[in-house]
Amino acid sequence: MGAVTAACLADLGHTVCGVDINAARIAKLRRGQTPFHESNLSEVLKRNLGAGRLSFTTSAAEAVPSADFVLIAVDTPASDSGQADLSSLHAAARDVASSLEGETVVVIRSTVPPGTSASLAPLIRAVNPGARFDIVANPEFLREGFSVADFMRPDRIIIGADDRGAGRRVAGLYRGLRRPILISDLATAEMIKYASNSYLAASISFINEIANICDQVGADVSQVARALAMDKRIGRRAYLSAGIGFGGGCFPKDVSALACLAEGHGYPAPMLRAVMRVNELQPELVLARLKEAFADFSGLRVAVLGLSFKGGTFDLRSSPALAVVRLLAQEGIGVRVFDPLADESVPAEVAGAADISSDPYQAAAGCHALIIATEHPEFRELDLVRIRSSMKSSLLIDGRNLLDTAAALRAGFSYRGIGRGHQTKPVSP
Ligand code: UGA
């Protein structure tokens, strides 16, 4: 997110220096290479490195003194208790503080609990009592994989500032985008980010609960979701794709952090807890489907297509696909996995629990069941007839409702989606 912000701000004409403590990452970025899969980022990096507007360093002391704005975009992962872990943010703020010179606006891009940005002021002053700075919250709404497009065409830009002048100066950074800008106080801007991610996560758990009921009553959740999205009060881009749950580096930790924050204030946040509970249960549906089809799991082999938390990325953080692999391995089921974007970063835990295949057909050959666990678009193009003919049994569990059910049935599969229960037939050898 920091790399995207740096590259895109440079593309808007600003002079930007990106700082990271990871030297290998900085070396890649200096060459215009992205350390992760992100559409169009490499082009924007190269264009701005070439134009001399963008540079990278591992030293805050090199970048901060001359800067008018310092944007902090470090991760705020969930701690063991579920609260936001602010240790990287505090370390970055201290690092920045010691190099502040002149008038600077410190902009918090990281997702932080309301109150956090304001609490950085005394921390900065403790390190550098003479520093002249304002703090502004400017949360991002970038989706992994689409970050450049989301940066360049945001639905709105949120700026939180207790000093209106500092807020307006940060708004000026985005003038070139010509998009709506909402300026609020610090705590409100921080809350908008949590509310946004929690709302989106809640829609997913909502549609997953509807899907689970659809399965009981023989209704099709895909059609239900399509109809809901046609209601303008809900909207056509609503997060209403049912599946094995949401994952990634944002929704799970942000819903949890907001619930913990609420509980810390004496409010039990029952709805946020329910959003998480539904999400924890979704991967277990895969196991339940297998139990319905196979009386015992001895000698059972399944292929899992997809490891990442969503399509088009290879990010395994809180991935529901990974949760499925773990559940299957715990049951002693033989698991083969394939992910089209898998790289050398496949964790040892996965390699220990499953065989990693280099193509989907190899993964499925000789298996009793095929599971789609990630919505990688290329899975829509699979030759289902070829896959079915190489398998030992006919069960296809579409954990992302990605495939055309009629095509799957025509290929000879017993198709089970999430909330599309009526479109199945008994599992055959
Ligand atoms: C999310 C938000 O969408 C961004 O606006 C936000 O800036 C970002 O978190 C963040 O806080 O940094 P991201 O984590 O990249 O972005 O992922 P999404 O594309 O929103 O998907 C999240 C998860 O929800 C995925 O596991 C996806 O499979 C799942 N999902 C999404 C569904 O199960 N159903 C849907 O209808 C939509």
**Blockwise average pLDDT, block size 10, the chain, 429 residues:** 97 98 96 90 98 97 97 96 96 97 97 97 97 98 96 98 97 97 98 98 98 95 97 97 98 97 97 98 97 95 97 94 96 96 84 91 98 97 98 97 95 96 68
| Residue 370: strand pairing partners | 303, 396
Identify the DSSP state of 36. Answer: S
Q: Please tell me the predicted confidence (pLDDT) of residue 238.
A: 98
Task: Map tokens 């938390």 to a residue.
Answer: 309
Ligand 1 contact, 76 CB (< 6 A)? no
Q: Which atom of ligand 1 is nearest to the CA of 193?
A: 11
Ligand 1 contact, 206 CB (< 6 A)? no
Ligand 1 contact, 194 CB (< 6 A)? no
Ligand 1 contact, 405 CB (< 6 A)? no
Answer whether 340's CB lies under 8 Å from 362's CB.
no
Integer Cα distance of 416 and 393 in angstroms:
14
Q: Please tell me the predicted confidence (pLDDT) of residue 36.
A: 83
How confident is the model over 366-419, as pLDDT tens digits? 999 999 999 999 999 999 999 999 999 999 999 999 999 999 999 999 999 999
> Which 3-state string (H, E, C) describes 216-284?
HHCCCHHHHHHHHHHCCCCCCCCCCCCCCCCCCCCHHHHHHHHHHHHHHCCCCCHHHHHHHHHHHHCCH
Q: Please tell me the predicted confidence (pLDDT) of residue 138.
A: 98
Residues recognised as catalytic: 250
Q: Please tell me the predicted confidence (pLDDT) of residue 74.
A: 97
Integer Cα distance of 401 and 308 in angstroms:
16
Name the packing angle between helices 116-127 and 87-97 (round to 10°): 40
How far is the first Cα of the chain from the last one, in angstroms, to the nearest whole number? 48
Of 393, 419, 398, 422, nearest in space to 408 by CA: 398
Long-range contacts of 66-69 (CB under 8 A, 24+ apart): 66/101, 67/17, 67/104, 68/103, 68/104, 68/105, 68/169, 69/104, 69/105, 69/106, 69/107, 69/169, 69/170, 69/173
Integer Cα distance of 348 and 163 in angstroms:
49
Integer Cα distance of 308 and 313 in angstroms:
7
From 141, 158, 251, give the residue whose CB has the most ligand 1 atoms within 8 Å, as the site to mutate: 251
Integer Cα distance of 109 and 56 in angstroms:
18
Measured by CA distance, the residue closest to atom 18 of ligand 1 is: 143
State in Å: Cα 276 to ligand 1 middle. 14
Ligand 1 contact, 204 CB (< 6 A)? yes
Q: Please tell me the predicted confidence (pLDDT) of residue 248.
A: 97
From 142, 148, 199, 240, give the residue whose CB has the most ligand 1 atoms within 8 Å, as the site to mutate: 142
Q: What is the Rg, in whole angstroms, of the alpha carbon atoms belonging to the chain?
A: 24
Measured by CA distance, the residue closest to atom 19 of ligand 1 is: 143
Ligand 1 contact, 311 CB (< 6 A)? no
Integer Cα distance of 229 and 375 in angstroms:
20
Ligand 1 contact, 250 CB (< 6 A)? yes
Q: Please tell me the predicted confidence (pLDDT) of residue 350.
A: 85
H or E, element range at 136: strand 132-137
Of 73, 71, 182, 162, nearest in space to 115 by CA: 162
Q: Please tell me the predicted confidence (pLDDT) of residue 423.
A: 58
From 37, 74, 204, 400, give the residue whose CB has the most ligand 1 atoms within 8 Å, as the site to mutate: 204
Measured by CA distance, the residue closest to atom 2 of ligand 1 is: 143
Residues 6+ apart with CB under 8 A from 14: 53, 173
Ligand 1 contact, 318 CB (< 6 A)? no
Residues 6+ apart with CB under 8 A from 101: 64, 65, 66
The SS3 assignment for 20 reads coil
State in Å: Cα 96 to ligand 1 middle. 30
